[in-house]
Structure formats: structure tokens, C-alpha cells
Structure 1
């Protein structure tokens, strides 16, 4: 075992700092004012740079050519090395100071006010054990809480958890306790409740690893956490806050923002393995599914096509092979779904059975992962038998995969691709992958494979159909997967426990940079969900960015919206609510694509100063304005809800205001979807939308709570093309402000996209008094006292006493800036 306990040398190269110790050697980069890189190795020299996860670098990297269209090369902050009187050294990026203690060797990071954010465990900072595993130990205290870690089970705060970083096919997992799951994102957010400060730690190492967040204890070392990898080096990025939201933003500056998916990807995606396993006419069964959705008033915008469509005569899955008995005319089938207003996302898998008809061609083109001696191609266990695995770190592997994807799928009109079973559970860790010419062992690259599979699909669609916005769905992945794919949490079991714990799993992914995530609604594995469970799962699932009911039931049933006819009304109502929220969802997706902000947010993300929400795992915020408190347990008729400090809250069911910091009891029945609007909240909706392919969002109902000044950015583009990248979008900043006895709602737009919204209706909450007058761009708006007349009018306003909302309707102005003013002066009807 080797431990870095003593500084032996330090050399300033201006762009970076080299440090040698009696254990590891280190290289420090001040990447910018929010990110400090601490790279270490116990080897004689640093390995060449190979960073698939990073889009911001200050060094030459083997992936530069591959990622040229998404990587930003920056000039690091110059190193100004200072030696202190106590013999320690320090460098600063202008916001944070890194102090290097010579003996016992350790790093400490402080902010401008002197708060310690990170501190190595002195005497046990960086260690390599006798198995060659590098470990980094961090000192912690009683006030620390930990969030993120990618796709992890259990509650949102991972304090006192020990978690394994590893990709595995976790069929039927338990969302409360199973570990690991499908994705590996070695990043966490540390929040100290005493100081109120947050920072992030990203360990850019794709080998299997472990985080221990105060689960292990030693009286000799007191309290600590650690990260240990099975191979490779400790390559640590300190990510600045000071808020949790800022940590997420700065982390996604480093690893990339969420991909801007096509608008219809926010719709309901039908799916089940059952339909593609029928003996014949699977295409007709899926077309009938879409028709049945319409018959039951269930909006639907797509279908995830399970892998049964690729079955050969022996029943095995052969990717890119259409089973012509089940799907006689794939091109016509794709077109039929488009005509019905639905996209098709076929399932594709990177493991290719030895009996696959393309195997010899792929081998001849060096497309597979190789054996450790590079003399052959690795064979391992896979679904259906022994298989080779496509090497997505190889230009040849990516090229061959894209070629066959073009021929089998893209050429017939498919632009949505579902990457499945891509955990790369190759048992021989010494098998070799190309790694852009560096030829690394697979143990260092497994989760990279699934991420690069997503990039390959994303890039292939761009190349084949340059004007089309790709829609890629991935089951596995590494840090940065958000740049290419929407993800979901794999093959969950159909249990109440998994309904409940799907919420913190998704929230943790959002804090780990993956804003566009969901789960299989109703559960994938096991018997069909009972009616109450299914209804509650749909009512929760409508708030997930990816919304798909998907099943492989073990009792010969199919989980479909109408599977329990007496309950279909609840399913239909919930999905219609989701569709009405499309303008809000799409704006939040754009926010994720520009700032990295999660769409579903834990309460601690918005209210980190409220100590009561530090481990709240089941209530969540949808964007900045809506608090969702779904029913997640069986047989509940009253729900206990906590509403955080920092806002007051409007119960959207009862129109009752509740003070922030309150615990309340909410009566619920089977149709209840408890939602609370934050004071200052702004929520754009479009009631009546039922298909995002065939309908245009031409009317907006804007719910506004004006008690606190607030703003929201409403985003529009054509929803399907790449034109938004050249400025063909419209972003409207909607701001609420008080002005004397008036409330003003200001609209300021930018971008060259001409809005499709023809009519606006503002729904402004009036907490104490109704407006006396309303004007639009200084022009008086007519008040209606008759609701029916108001509904028939194109413009005017009406006060709804039941909801205490001022309803203001008008045709959308052509100007880029305008204001709606509501005057609340009391009219004296008594005095003369």
C-alpha cells in the first residue's frame, strides 16, 4: 500500500501545477472560476488524456476530433503559486483557494469568506492499496448531506450510504435498496446545513468504484467519506456552488447540458413487449393500440418498439433484422404511425449473438471488443446466448453500427432510437477496447460504451437527416449521457415500493445532470399492477420528463391505459393534464438544455435554507413553480404534506392559500393529484392538446400568482428540426412586478421564430381583492360581468369569484414587448 503523506516537489507550469509526493503525483488545473481539477496517479507518469465525459477542457485530448462539435477548449486561469508562512502553498481561481499542506499531505478548498468546503483526510488523503485500487478520503462533519450519485436507490440524501458504481441489468430491482442499477455517474453534491453552502465532487473514472458517505467508521480517523476505484486514477473535479442549483449548472458546464429533444418526446409513449411477441400482424396490433388510445381519450405521441421485431426464425434477437412475419412492410408501418400522429422508436442492442447474420461482416471490419491479446473478438454471455459486443470507442465500430442503422432503420423514416441492454457486462475485465487508439481494458470503459452508443445514434440521425432533431433513449450511461439521450431507470418491478422510490431515483438523476429521465410506468417486471397502484403510478408518471407505460408482465397480461375499464377515466384525465402542461414542460426542457436545471426537482434544490426538506424524497417541484405531492401509498384517504419555507402556497384543488413551513392534511380520493402553486409562480398551459405531432399549440393559458416578483421563460420553436440552433426560436421572458396599486405582467421576446400562439388567457390569482381595471399595452380592456359573453369574446377580462382569478384574454400582440396591467385600487360605491 502507498499513501501520499509528504510533499516532495512542486512545479508551476503557469497553465497547470505539478506536485510530487511520497505516494502519488498530482496535476492541478484552475479550469475556470467554478471548477478546479485535481488529477492524480500512482503510476510513474500520467496516462494520455482520454475524456469522453468532458465538454470543457484546457488540454489536448484523444477525443478532441470525435467531440469537436460539442467541446469547448478554454485557457485555464494562470497559476499564481503562493507560499505561506507555515510552509503550505496555495493557488486561487479568484473565487476559491486551494491550499496544499506539505505534511501530512492534504488539499483544502475554501471560499472567499474562508469557509472550508472540501478538506482531505490528513494522513490518509490519497491511497493506493495492495490491489492497485486508488482511494481518496475526505473529512466530513455532522452537518453534511450528500445528493446525486446518478441512478441510485433509496431516499434523496445519501448520508451514511455505501454505494457501488457499476452498470448492471437489474431486472426486477427494488427502488428502496437495490444497488447498483443501470447507470454510473460518479458525481455528488455536498451540502452543509450549518454554513448553507454546497459544492460538487466529480470523479472522472469509469471503472467500477465505491462511494462510502460515512457508512464506514474508524475511531482513529473520526468521520470521513471516500471514493475508491477498481482501476485507473483519481481524477477529481471540484465544482463550485454556493447553491445546489449553481453546482448543477457548473457541473453541466463541464459534462454538457441536456439534449433538446423534439417536442413530441414529451408526449405519452406507448410500449409493451407483448405486441412484438405476437405470432404475426404485430404492426396491426400497434396501429390498433393507437386507435384504442383515441377511443379512450388517451393522448399518445409514439410507440417504443420492443426487440421482438428483430426475432429470427430461431426466436433469437438479431438487431437490425426485421421479422417480416410480424412486420411485413416496415416502411409502410413507420409511415402508418406517422399518419396516426405517432413516432416509432425501435429497440436496438449492442450485443450481437454469434449466430447473427451480420457477425462476420462486423468482425471483418474490426467493429467488436477484442480479447485481451487482441488476437480475437471477445465473447460473453448475453440475452439469448454468447455474443460479441460492438466497440463504440472505435471509429470502425461506430461506422459499422451507423451503416447498418441507416440501412435497417433510418432509410425507412425512423429518427427515434431506443438503445437497450447496453450495460456491457463483459466478465473479462482485460478485454481490449480501441479507446480512440489508446487500447484500454474494458474495465476502464464499460459505462463509456453506452454513452458512445447514444452519441453514435445521435450523430447518425444528424448525418442521414440533417434537418431532423434526433430522439435517442438510453438505458445505461456514464456522466455526460444527458448530451445525447433521454434515459429511464430500467426494468423495475410492479410494486408500490417501486412507485414510491422511483421519485428519488429520478430526482437524484436530475441533480446528477440528467434532467430528461423517467421510469416504466406501472412497473416492467412482475404481475400486472392492481388498479389502484396503476392509477397512482400514472398520476405520478405524468410529471416525469419521459412518460411511458411499459411492461413485460409475468401473468400473461398487458399494462395498457384501459386495462381496468372502470378506472380508465382516471388514467385519461391524468394524461390529459400532462398534455395541458406541454408549454411548461417544453420550456423546462429548454432550461435544462441551457442551464442544466432539472425538470423534476427535489425540494432542497429550490429551498435549501429550509432544514426540513434536506431529506424530503417524495414531494418534488416540477420546475420552479409547482409542488407535486402525489399519493404513493396504498389505501390513502388523507395525505400529509409539507410546504416549504420561502413561499406561501396555493392549493390548486381548493384555491386555499397556506403559509410556507406548514404541515397540512390533504383529503384525497382516487382521482386526486395534489398540486400546489408557489407564490410568484408562473405556469403556461394549453388545455385541449391531445397530439403534439398533429396539433399546434396556438393558445396559452398562463397561470400567474403575483404575490412575489418572479419571472419565467416561455420557449417556442418548431419542435422537430434543428433550426433553433440558428436562432429560429422564440423565448419570452414573462415577469411579474408590483407597481403601486397595480400588478404588471411584462412580456419580452427574442428570437426569429414567429410564435404560433394566437390567443393568450392570463389567469391572475387575486388573493385579497379583485382588479378594478385591466389594460393591455396601456389600452383599457373591457370587463365582462357575464361569463358566457366573456367566453364568446376575443378580448376582455372577467373575475372568477370561485377561483379568485382575473381572467384576461386577448389575441397575441405582434410586438416583442408588451405589458398587461391589473389595477387593484378599491372602488368606493358608497361615498359621493
Structure 2
């Protein structure tokens, strides 16, 4: 008799004597499972458990397949007798019941839904996924388990490798700063840090995704950590002596110290000394004055094998890298306190010595530099889909399939939670700076916007509004903010909203710290090590443990009492990685943010932002259930979108290469399933030359070369930012308000004002996209590969994107550029937004990019609703909408509307109006309105403007088209 005869899924209550007690029932179940041992399986309520014959204790013993939906499969694999009973932090419970069948053929067990099949080998435990026709989608290659124990908790470092087709491409993984787009054949380390947001979800251009359920340090691609140069190469100093490179440290002319020349057996100057706190970088020369110095590392490297060597450069200050006398890393810069990583690869030959040189200008009293490498692996191995986690209970992942990438992302949100509709005002413009220092500054800035008639909805109060020694008190410093309630009321009276910065950080002297500490809810390592921060004389504090349910409730209680009760509209959750201390090694970071209430920080390293977001979302909805929550967080994780959370890209630099890197970073974050992303327009950390340029301008009124570049950089960045899901400027001095960038009439001022006004004209379109994120799991900021997957030309285009279904955006990220190359996908034709001229698809072209305009094109068949000029998002109802219809293909768009600020849409109180264009008939149908909500316009006018090949039409709200008087019933007009 086959083992499958005894599957538990076939047992009914009728087959068991009802007099059996629980113990007997468990014994019976155990006997039946034992009958399947060594290649049998057990059917469960939502899948199967397959037992694999285990040869070694670290081999897989059981594989579990759980059906989560027609195209959603959960896979777990363990060497243990039983699977972990810990609940997933990223997955929402209650996926619903999906019908499935189980078939056993030979050494394989197949679990089938109507759409996908997961087949498990009873011999190896490997899983293969196929579609309804039997075509293979994804197949496991191999896996491994390595036992680990941390703080008395046992687990495994795990690795799972999948086969991958040569023409496959991968996207997602969150938001990183190395300007990589397609991750095929790439490596990415997944941890949270300022400017780095890790989400363990990857989407393939083959229309599937893998959600890796792990909260620990993870690696995508190669599981190895980068090695010190001396472990990868033979090193030779500049005199040819083996064993090290030459480091030459030349101080500033007035430093009063001698040049240091020493041998360097590694270039690893990447973190602060734990004991020296903020004053010493590990391995650098003691006492050397780095500000104003110049450092060179040079010599030769000799590999012992041939192939593609991968490098990671860690840098602060100005850095260049030369290998074999070629500039492989052109100058890059980051501020001294917030280094960045950049990856590159070089082909080298075994036994052939090549010169290596790094030129480094530290640009700070404490600064960082490092270069490490990986030895080659075969292309066949490197190009596979591979995951590694430092500490898991077991291998745990979700296979997500779809007809297109949108459906894959919808599957991700089915698993991890819907993305609520953000408040409508959040779609408008936000102004921020580091920081408004007084009550008068912030209110005065908003007044200036209104005076100049520059549209704005949200103004942000960044950190340090509290007394200097009271971080975490949530109290306003009375000397600078004498009446916070009056300040907030004034902002509201100006038809603005206020967002405020709240950190999960508390100084040890505050009452809030003491409330957490008495319950054991404060991380203690920073206190034990007496770590002082960078404020004033330096104060001791730490972060609360967001993994403790009681701590989350207390965090919100304190925010509610001190801030929300004043009328604060939205929350800026800074340092939510959590960043207890900058620039430390990873092990110390784990020490500083653990142990958590759930276990060792090594195991729960990446999910802090998720738990912190839950605290605010659940807290606010519990207090004010009808006011939409809005969170902006510097870190993020799988599932953050369910807590009405947006993420920004952290404290990036004010460099052209950093602006460019935000395009690919934002696109990959969007594909990671979290639809709301933003960045500091202009960059946060400012090069000194720009500060000096501003100072000279303020003194003389002359626009020097650096200040001229600063203005153009900001102009180009605003142009890009206007087409991101959220439109927000923020940064250090020089300030980012438009009048502080350039005077009225300057091309920079004109351009920023133009795109800010356009953003508000686009509000009906943008808010409809926001509605689609909830109703259809839509993605607003879209890499071309999402909409043009069949066009292989788009697989590696990470510097263009679609803004919704209609608009293709091509940011300009080179100084002085007045044109740029674009690719026009082949599936359709395109119209220049500014001229209406037609461009055929399937070609690369160099397009104009004048100072004041970003290249912007609209696809054939697009329908775009534009509203009136507005100063804020709800200034006036869109009683007249100009509807641009771009001919050439059939098209459709649905206008979405609701009250904009509450959760009535969750109860079905919203309205949609469908638009359908038929190319053959040349007709537009405005369909019957569906739904309603309080305050809804019953009647309105649509001014329909057609754009076609033979009748180009630039964007212009004053153009008169076909007028449709609409009362909610279907109307069709000939265009």
C-alpha cells in the first residue's frame, strides 16, 4: 500500500472512534505520519508536509508546502523534527481558503491549484514550480543549513539557491545606493542603515517573485562577505615589496605634523573604535589630523586566479580608484559622518600584477575609507537566484506568481498587507529643511509660500525642537517654540499640514526613558558603554525595543499625549533602522539594538521599522479612527505599506551621481511592493563648495561657478521629484525653499514653480493612482520593465520610468546637459508632453532637455485628467477637468475620488468614473459614475482635448476641446 494512503487529509471523524481522547488521536496521527517516513507525505488543511530521508543532521528533513492563494505558495524546509511555531512578522494572517489537489507520482508529491503547481522531490526535498500548462516557472537548485547559536538561542544560517534562465532579470530588494538596477548576477547585502533600506523581496521579469521570510542580515547572490585585499591578492607596496600596499598620509599645510608613510596589509578603515566613541576610526593612524589632508594608497595586486573580481568601496570624503592605471571609480563624495558603499568589478589574470591606487581626500576630522573584494565565481553560479540568511529557524519563503509584474506585486500585498490610501494632501508638495529652529521660522516659511503663491500642502518640523538635553521628551523647547499649539493652529489656518520628526531614541534622564526602562523596554548596550551622541557635550541615551508589544503601546501613548493632542497631522519616523550609533561594525550594531523581546538582534536585525510603524498606525487609529495615518520612515521592511508608511532614501549627498542613484533606488523600492517613496530633493548632505558658493552669493550677489551648479542641480532634482509618488524637498544649508535657491525670474525658480504647479494640475491623475494602490495593488512609480516586459531592451533601463500608466519620465542627472538619450518602448508610440509631437516606439533617440524642462512623454492611448491651478490639494473642487486623450491606440483610465482625509473609503464610500477611448471610432466614452461619498460633485464639466499624430497639441489648460457636461450618466462624444 502506498504511503499516500495514510495521508491525514483523507481521515474523517467517522473513521475514528469518537470515544478516543486527545492523546490517542495524537498517537494515531503520529503512527500515520511514521508510515510515510523516508519519502512519504502528510496532507494538511492547506497543503502537504513531505518527509525527506535525512543523511546528515544538517540535511533537510521536512518540506512544507502551504497554499496561500491560487498563485501564492509558502515553502518551509527544516532539518528539525518540527517546524517553527513563531508567527511571521511580515505576513498578515487569514489568507483565506484556496482549493488544491495533491498528486503523488513516484518520488514526487505535487500540490496543484488552478493556476500553479509546486512539486516536491521526496528524495532531495527540492521544489519546482510550474504553471497550469506544466511550464516550469522556478526550480530550487540546492539549499544548506549551518547551525548557529546566539545568546543561547539556536538557529541556522541558511542558503537557498534557484535555477535562473540566462535572459532573466531581477528587481526589488528595497532601496540601495550603488546605482544598480537589474540584480541579475549582482550581489546585495540586506541590512538597514541610513540611505539603505532592505526588503527581502525580488521580482523577476518572468512574472514571479520570491519573498524571503527572514529578519536577519541577508545576502542576495553570493553568500560570502567581501574579504580584505590581502586575503584575495598578493599585495606589493610601491617599492615592490610583497605583503602590503603603501599608505601615504599628507596633512594639511598648517597641521603641524609630518607626513606618515606606512605599509597597509588591508584597506579597512570603515568603522569607529567602540571604546573611542566618536573620535577614532579603527586601523587609521592615531592622532593624524584628517581634515584638509590627502591620502594615497598604492602598490600592486596579484590574483592567484583569473576572472571577474568584485569590489566594494566604502567611502567618505572625495575618493577615486584606479586599477591597472584605469580610473574604475571616478570621483565620489560623501559627508564624513555618513559614508556610502559603491560596487564595481574588474577582470584580472592569474599571476599578473596590476597597479592599484586610491586617492582619498577625507574632508572631515573623522572619516572613512575601505576596499574589499570577492574572488571570482563562475557566471553560471553567479547568475542564479540565491538567498542567504545569517540566522533563521528554517528556510522560509513565498513563491508569488502572476500574469504580469503588477499581479506579482499584488500577490506580495495579499501576503503582507494592503497599502491604504494616503491622505490627499500628501500627494501635494512638502517643504522641509534641517531644520526650522523656531516657531516663527516654520510659520513664516509657510506664509512666504502663500505670499508668493507657490503651491504647498505640508511643512515639516525636523529634529531638535526639544530642549537640548531632552531628546525623547517630545517637549518643545519653550525658548524657541513658546506656544506649539498656536504654531500648529497657525499652520492649519494657512491651509497647511504639519509633519513632525519623532525618533525612537530617548536620553536616559528623560521621564519617557524611565517609563520604558522600568519595564525592560530599553536597549541597554549604549547605556552600559556610556555612548554619548554628537549634541552639545554629548548625551547618553538609547532606543526603545519596538519588538515588545507593551513598548509599542507606550511609545504611541507618549506621542499622543505630547504631540498628537496638539494637532500634529503626520509623523516623520527618523533613524528607524534603528540607528543607535553611526558608523559602527555590524556586530556592534547588533549588540546596540538587542536583545529584543522576541530574541537575539542577530535574528531580528532588519524588521525594527516594521514594528515601529505598527506602533504609530495602530495607536493613531485607536485614538482617532477616522483620520488617515501618515508615516514617513527612514527605514522600511516587507509589510510596512500596511501601516500607511512611506519611505525616503535617507541622508543622501548633494552630488549628480547621488541624484542618478535615486532613480534606480526608487524604482527598485517600488518593485519591492511598497508604493510610496520619496527622497531629499537636492540631497541632504552638502558639499562645502556649495555652502561657500551660497555664502559668496549672499555677500556679493554674484553667482559663482559652484553656486551656478547648485542651482542647476536643484532644478534638475525638483524636475525629477515632481514625478515621484511623494514630492518633497529637504536638506542642510543652503536651504531648499525655491526663493532660497534662486530669485523670482531665474530659470531655476521658473522651472521649480512650473513643476510644482503641474503637480497640482495632475492631482486628479495622481490621486486616482493612489486609489489604485489600494483597490488594485497598483504601483505609481514604475520601471519600464513593468509595462513593457516583453521588450527586452528595457531590462537594464534604470534611469527612465513611468509615472502611472501614461507618462514616461527621463530625469537629467549630468551638469550642463541639455539633451539626453532615451529609449522609446516598442509596444506603442509616444507624444512629447510639451509639443505634442509624435515619436515612434522601438528606438533610441537623443531628446532635448533644456534647463527648465525634464524630458517627458505620454504613451498612445493615454487619458490624463488635469485639474485647475491650486495652492493646496483641497483648495477647490475639480468641477472642471481638462481631459487629454492621446490617440493612436485604444485607451482607458478611471478617475477615483473620495473625501481625501478619512477612512470612509474602506466602507465603500468613494466614487469612480471610467473613461474609454476607441481609436477606430475616434470616440471617448465617459462612463456611469459608480459609488458615492459625502461632498461628492454631482455635476461637472470635462474639457476633452485630443492629441494625435496629425494634430500635435502641447499641454495647455487654456485649450478648448470638446465640452462634456456630466451628471453621472454615460456619455459618448466624437473627438
Range into which the TM-score falls when normalised by the shorter chain: 0.7 to 0.9
Partner of 2:102, secondary structure, is coil
Aligned partner of 1:178 in structure 2 is none
**Distance in structure 2 (CA, Å) of the matches to 1:106 and 1:357:** 54
1:202-234 Cα offsets, whole Å, 9 max, x none, are 101111110007986259968533111010132
Q: Is the 8 A contact 2:681 2:730 kept in 1?
A: yes
**Distance in structure 1 (CA, Å) of the matches to 2:131 and 2:502:** 47
Give, in angstroms, the shift of residue 356 of structure 1: 2.4
**Distance in structure 2 (CA, Å) of the matches to 1:37 and 1:387:** 41
Partner of 2:750, secondary structure, is helix
Work out which of the residue numbers 408, 428, 435 in structure 2 matches 1:247.
408
Work out which of the residue numbers 451, 461, 477 in structure 2 matches 1:295.
451
Aligned partner of 2:289 in structure 1 is none
Q: Is the 8 A contact 2:715 2:751 kept in 1?
A: yes
Q: Which structure 2 residues correspond to residues 74-473 of structure 1 after superposition, within 5 A?
A: 74-84=96-106, 87-121=107-141, 124-128=142-146, 132-153=156-177, 154-170=179-195, 181=196, 183-191=197-205, 197-212=206-221, 217-218=377-378, 224-232=384-392, 233-276=394-437, 282-312=438-468, 314=469, 317-369=471-523, 385-425=539-579, 427=588, 429=590, 439-473=598-632
Partner of 2:914, secondary structure, is strand
1:496-520 Cα offsets, whole Å, 9 max, x none, are 0111121111111111111111110
Q: Which structure 2 residues correspond to residues 621-660 of structure 1 after superposition, within 5 A?
A: 621-660=802-841
Q: Is the 8 A contact 1:422 1:475 kept in 2?
A: yes
Q: Is the 8 A contact 2:473 2:512 kept in 1?
A: no
Q: Is the 8 A contact 2:71 2:400 kept in 1?
A: yes
**Residues 20, 653 of structure 1: alpha-carbon distance in 2 compared, 3 angstrom cutoff:** same
1:339-370 Cα offsets, whole Å, 9 max, x none, are 11111111001121222232222223444347
**Distance in structure 1 (CA, Å) of the matches to 2:924 and 2:941:** 19
Aligned partner of 2:44 in structure 1 is 13
Partner of 1:497, secondary structure, is helix
Partner of 1:596, secondary structure, is coil
**Distance in structure 2 (CA, Å) of the matches to 1:262 and 1:239:** 29
**Residues 264, 222 of structure 1: alpha-carbon distance in 2 compared, 3 angstrom cutoff:** closer
Aligned partner of 1:505 in structure 2 is 665
Which protein is bigger by CA-based radius of gyration? 2
**Residues 801, 33 of structure 1: alpha-carbon distance in 2 compared, 3 angstrom cutoff:** closer
Structure 2: give runs of 5+ residues left out of the alignment.
1-36, 150-155, 224-309, 311-375, 581-587, 691-708
* Residue 591 (structure 1) aligned with residue 772 (structure 2): yes
TM-score if structure 2 supplies the norm length?
A: 0.72
**Residues 511, 378 of structure 1: alpha-carbon distance in 2 compared, 3 angstrom cutoff:** farther
Partner of 1:185, secondary structure, is strand
**Distance in structure 1 (CA, Å) of the matches to 2:49 and 2:618:** 37
**Distance in structure 1 (CA, Å) of the matches to 2:166 and 2:784:** 21
* Residue 560 (structure 1) aligned with residue 748 (structure 2): no
Q: Is the 8 A contact 1:187 1:200 kept in 2?
A: yes
**Distance in structure 2 (CA, Å) of the matches to 1:540 and 1:769:** 28
Partner of 1:253, secondary structure, is helix
Q: Is the 8 A contact 1:393 1:433 kept in 2?
A: no
Q: Is the 8 A contact 2:499 2:570 kept in 1?
A: yes
Partner of 1:144, secondary structure, is coil
Q: Is the 8 A contact 1:367 1:400 kept in 2?
A: no
Q: Is the 8 A contact 1:506 1:518 kept in 2?
A: yes
**Residues 35, 383 of structure 1: alpha-carbon distance in 2 compared, 3 angstrom cutoff:** farther
Partner of 1:417, secondary structure, is strand
Q: Is the 8 A contact 1:268 1:302 kept in 2?
A: yes
TM-score if structure 1 supplies the norm length?
A: 0.83
Aligned partner of 1:173 in structure 2 is none
Partner of 1:74, secondary structure, is coil
Partner of 2:814, secondary structure, is coil
**Residues 222, 596 of structure 1: alpha-carbon distance in 2 compared, 3 angstrom cutoff:** closer
**Residues 657, 531 of structure 1: alpha-carbon distance in 2 compared, 3 angstrom cutoff:** same
**Distance in structure 1 (CA, Å) of the matches to 2:175 and 2:121:** 35
Partner of 1:294, secondary structure, is helix
**Distance in structure 2 (CA, Å) of the matches to 1:627 and 1:462:** 37
**Distance in structure 2 (CA, Å) of the matches to 1:558 and 1:800:** 34
**Distance in structure 2 (CA, Å) of the matches to 1:378 and 1:737:** 70
Q: Is the 8 A contact 1:159 1:213 kept in 2?
A: no
Q: Is the 8 A contact 1:488 1:546 kept in 2?
A: no
Give, in angstroms, the shift of residue 164 of structure 1: 0.7
**Residues 428, 625 of structure 1: alpha-carbon distance in 2 compared, 3 angstrom cutoff:** closer
Aligned partner of 2:941 in structure 1 is 759
Aligned partner of 1:788 in structure 2 is none
**Distance in structure 1 (CA, Å) of the matches to 2:378 and 2:147:** 17
* Residue 481 (structure 1) aligned with residue 674 (structure 2): no
Work out which of the residue numbers 629, 650, 658 in structure 2 matches 1:490.
650
Structure 1: give runs of 5+ residues left out of the alignment.
1-5, 58-71, 171-180, 192-196, 277-281, 771-798, 824-832
Give, in angstroms, the shift of residue 250 of structure 1: 1.3
- RMSD across aligned positions (CA): 2.8
Aligned partner of 2:710 in structure 1 is 530
Q: Is the 8 A contact 2:656 2:814 kept in 1?
A: yes
Equivalent pairs, count: 736
**Distance in structure 2 (CA, Å) of the matches to 1:128 and 1:9:** 25
Partner of 2:41, secondary structure, is strand
**Distance in structure 1 (CA, Å) of the matches to 2:819 and 2:951:** 31
Aligned partner of 1:38 in structure 2 is 75
**Residues 50, 717 of structure 1: alpha-carbon distance in 2 compared, 3 angstrom cutoff:** same
Give, in angstroms, the shift of residue 14 of structure 1: 4.4
Aligned partner of 2:763 in structure 1 is 582
Partner of 2:713, secondary structure, is helix
Partner of 2:817, secondary structure, is coil
Aligned partner of 2:721 in structure 1 is 541
Q: Which structure 2 residues correspond to residues 796-811 of structure 1 after superposition, within 5 A?
A: 807-811=961-965
Give, in angstroms, the shift of residue 110 of structure 1: 1.3
Give, in angstroms, the shift of residue 157 of structure 1: 0.7
Stretch deviating more after TM superposition (206-215 or 635-644): 206-215
Q: Which structure 2 residues correspond to residues 730-745 of structure 1 after superposition, within 5 A?
A: 730-738=911-919, 740=921, 742-745=922-925
Partner of 1:575, secondary structure, is helix
